[in-house]
Amino acid sequence: MKPRVLQYGRLMPSLEKQLAEAFDLHRLVDEADPSAFLAQRGAEFVGLATAGFADAALIAACPKLKVISSFGVGVDKIDLKAAAERGIPVGNTPDVLNDCVADLAIGLMIDVARGIGASERYLRAGSWPKGAYPLQRRMSGKKLGILGLGRIGHAIAKRALAFDMDIRYHNRRAVADTSIAHEPSLVELARWCDFLVVISAGGAGTKHLVNEEVLNALGPEGFLINVARGSVVDEPALVRALQDKRLGGAGLDVFENEPQVPAELMALDNVVLVPHIGSATVETRAAMAQRVFDNLKSYFSTGKLISQA
């Protein structure tokens, strides 16, 4: 008998095909009334493949659930406490997306500092014959602050060294085995650096960690880059700081209420906005999909996950 697996949310077609071949898969999205379906048949499922979501209600609706495998590294929308109380391990997809997210962070830094996107819009609008585009800021040789020196934070730092940047980081606790200087105060890190890259975990513990005080410390010549979770940054405070020019600019891959983006942000030319594409390359998404499958396959074969949140 193939293990009965529930799929929550849409996944890559190739992954859905792979899951359907290996397991007795049921897509909850196909149900007209998902809640009624789970109330009646939730006890059938021993595995959950999800696009990053599993709240306490979903977990409770599957009383025989043994394992959760999530597409993505972030687990802020998975109730880890509810899973742990039931002894349900949660698999995610770390490491395989480090390079692509780090690449994007560097790209956003260059774009917002040099005004690549904004100057392209200037050119396309036919404004160049009327005058040269205003001078922008350089990135190389500047000071980089990293909020969250984990796997991706280290990958960003590695790339930033090629730009001769001076690097410091802020974590709640200092990271062992790194030569990068730890700054105990996020406000002081923001005051010191030219670029502040946010790559910390999401969730209640980091909500609005980058607040108005941090943004003011970063200042009118500083740039904020967020490739983590939108919740880490106080978005209304960010809008105000950009509008008032108390902050030099921002490069944002994530937002508080995705896929909704504040109109005030879209109206600003000192902001680079992309639709949560940090891991969105063919190579990385394929690797993430494979990890979702491999986590489930490994659990049902050995009782262990390859990567556990």
Question: Which uninterrupted H or E stretch holds 48?
Answer: strand 47-50
User: In whole angstroms, what is the distance from residue 234 CA to residue 250 CA?
Assistant: 13
Identity of the amino acid at 140: S
Q: No. of H helices and E strands in the chain?
A: 12, 12
What does R_g of the chain's alpha carbons equal in angstroms? 22
User: In whole angstroms, what is the distance from residue 110 CA to residue 308 CA?
Assistant: 34
Catalytic positions, please?
A: 229, 258, 276
- Please answer whether residues 97 and 278 qualify as being in contact, where contact means their C-beta atoms are separated by less than 8 angstroms: yes
Q: Which residue has the tokens 């999909």?
A: 289
* Residue 28 DSSP one-character state: G
Count Cβ atoms below 10 Å from residue 184 Cβ, excluding itself: 11
**Residues 271, 201, 102, 254: what is their CA dihedral angle, to the nearest 10 degrees?**
-30
User: In whole angstroms, what is the distance from residue 222 CA to residue 32 CA?
Assistant: 49
User: In whole angstroms, what is the distance from residue 64 CA to residue 48 CA?
Assistant: 11
